[in-house]
Amino acid sequence: MNLQGWTAWMPAVETPAAWLDWARSGAVAPPVVAEAPPPIREIPPLLRRRAERMGRALLHVLSRPELPYAGQPLILCSRLGEFPRSLALLRELARDGQVSPQQFSMSVHNAAGGLFMMAQKANAPLTALAAAEETALAGLQEAAAQLADGAASVWLCFSEEPLPEAYRLLDTTPQHTDYFALLLEFTTGEAFCLQSEIRVTAAPASPLQLLRFLLLPEEETLCLSPRGGWTLRRQSVSGSGDAR
């Protein structure tokens, strides 16, 4: 796989320069700043009015002009999806015994991606993945599989928000906000190769750790999961070499 482009957003960290500064700083996550969801003027009003904060942030990343969409397959990765809607639906169900069909339709993991595809009038494959602490690995595996199956390029997107207090005791993983999209292709030259060769003891890499690895060329290896010894490595390929 080869990274051909990327775009990312979170409050107070929007520009490529700001993200590079964060990557070089070594901070676990960019600073969290309370801020309204970003504008998504590229999405028609009838579609964007259906999106709430998480959906709007993802649509903002997918619609950035510096990474124009060209009909590629779209892979959406999120550990919990739009859990604020899900939590509201659970409370509504407990209170009223029924839920809004429209709210339920927008609570599933592929909801924002569906809005984006409709806005683009695209009929490309849309995949939604959730794999707990191994979500970064699952996304890369799916991207590699689609490239190996003949896709010229794929969009791999990640989105997360901190859990509400009601769930914090059940999940001890770091809480942070991040939204980013990667344009991945299979080409010759500098590439990232998924490998499953050795046992590793490091914890699975989070999506944010994946983004930092991709932004820092001096980083050579990233542990994606100790199960199976999955790592992501930088390597050079030439000619017919396969670095998917």
Q: Alpha-carbon torsion 133, 137, 141, 143, what sign? A: positive
> Among 41, 83, 45, 82, which Cα is nearest to 60's?
41
Rounded CA-CA distance 121/215 in Å is 31
Whether residue 211 is predicted with pLDDT greater than 90 in this model: the reply is yes
Q: Which H helix or E strand runs over 66?
A: none
Q: Mean pLDDT, to the nearest integer, of 9-16?
A: 82
Confidence of residue 161 (pLDDT cuts 50, 70, 90): confident
Whether residue 239 is predicted with pLDDT greater than 60 in this model: the reply is no
Rounded CA-CA distance 221/235 in Å is 10
Domains of the chain: 2-187 (3.40.47.10)
The predicted pLDDT at position 201 comes to 66
> What is the residue type of 68?
P
Q: Mean pLDDT, to the nearest integer, of 88-107?
A: 84
Rounded CA-CA distance 161/83 in Å is 9
Q: Per residue in 180-208, pLDDT tens?
A: 999 999 876 668 888 887 666 678 898 99
Answering whether pTM is above 0.95, one says no
Q: Per residue in 115-159, pLDDT tens?
A: 999 999 999 999 999 998 899 999 999 999 999 999 999 999 999
